[in-house]
Amino acid sequence: MKESKLIEMQKKIESLGRVTQLLLTEISSMKTLSFGVHETLKLMPGYEQAIKQIKEKVAEEPSDGTSFNSDGKTSE
């Protein structure tokens, strides 16, 4: 390969690395934010009752074959 092509590829790889790092930082920030919002919601009055109602509603709905584990991930 020509040296110019290798240099171009190297720059693209470095650019992808920077974008990936930025995305990882954003995901970490979103995770922190979502945990904070969840903890705040838990402190609100009526939280337990709302969770109970949601569980009842989900139990009443017909299943489409997709189930969720306790950690929120889907399983087949």
Show the tokens assigned to 33. 């934010």
**pLDDT value for 70:** 58
Q: Tens digit of pLDDT for each residue in 6-15? A: 999 999 999 9
Q: Where are the domains of the chain?
A: 3-58
Does residue 9 contact residue 2 with C-beta atoms inside 8 Å?
no
**pLDDT value for 62:** 79
Show the tokens assigned to 20. 């990936």
Q: Tens digit of pLDDT for each residue in 29-68? A: 999 999 999 999 999 999 999 999 999 999 998 776 666 6
Half-sphere exposure of 34 (CA within 13 A, CB side): 6
pTM of the model: 0.58
Does residue 75 contact residue 67 with C-beta atoms inside 8 Å?
yes
